[in-house]
Amino acid sequence: MPQTDPRSAFDTATAVARTEGGGLTTELDPGWDVGGGILNGGYLLAVAARAAVLESPHPHPVALSASYLHAAAAGPATLTVTPGPAGRTLAHSAVVLADAAGPAVTVQATTATLTADAATFSSPMPTATPVQDCVSIAENAHLAPSSVSVPGLTQRVDVRLDPLTAGWALGQPAEEPMMRAWLRFADGREPDALALVTFADALPPTSWAIGVFGWAPTVQLQVLIRALPAPGWCLVEARANEIAGGWLDEDYRIWDSTGRLVAQSRQLARAPRS
């Protein structure tokens, strides 16, 4: 009788295995796309972070800086981890994720040991609509513009849009490119450090908030993991500072169910064409 894989969809999709020759391989899952078969940048970074942790004396990613060289294709991929300086509290490494077309993502990774200890100071969670009163993207596929295919990512990550920042979905774009949403994995897997890496790039482009639709391919993504998150929903807020010259920047902040800031990210992407 076939064995049922006890791992979550996320753990299966980000699994990294050692080869007989000592290298690392993975199978990039097509179900984590953001439309048109393009794999989500946060998902790809989580795969690379898992490889960095596998080759590190420390268990958690705390700082990641990724450059995206081309749109990685679903299917077999290799990971090359080059160790850097390492000490008792942290270690550095460089990770290259390559598919059949060559290197797709390069990452500078820092690993350490995170805790859930109380913070000396934590940026307060903003007031948000309760999750039960928010709008599920997965259950409302019509919210996406007709020109954009429904992402597979929305079936893996349960995104509940705060109506206060989702006017764009009702034909009422805002003046400010900002979104807020509650996130968790659709299969109930609780968040951890690697989950936060994916959550740091899981919302629609912030340009949608002001009515500028289309996909925004990530060019560079930096993620900081500040603490181990508590179980439950995470609140994610994304904001763009400027959309100009064909470029879009986004700053993410992520709070766990206790209201603690547990992750931050900043990315540079190509702006959708209006």
Show contacts of 140-148: CB within 8 Å, 24+ apart: 140/169, 143/169, 144/204, 145/208, 145/213, 145/214, 147/213, 147/214, 148/35, 148/213, 148/214, 148/215
| Whether the predicted pLDDT of 2 surpasses 60 | no
- Stated pTM of the model: 0.93
For residue range 82-112, what is the model confidence (pLDDT) as tens digits? Answer: 999 999 999 999 999 999 999 999 999 999 9
Model pLDDT, residue 274: 58
For residue range 215-250, what is the model confidence (pLDDT) as tens digits? Answer: 899 999 999 999 999 999 999 999 999 999 999 999
Neighbours of 173 (CB within 10 A): 17
- Between CA 73 and CA 79, with CA 78 as vertex, the angle to 5 degrees is 115
For residue range 36-87, what is the model confidence (pLDDT) as tens digits? Answer: 778 999 999 999 999 999 999 999 999 999 999 999 999 999 999 999 999 9
For residues 121-125, give the mean pLDDT: 91
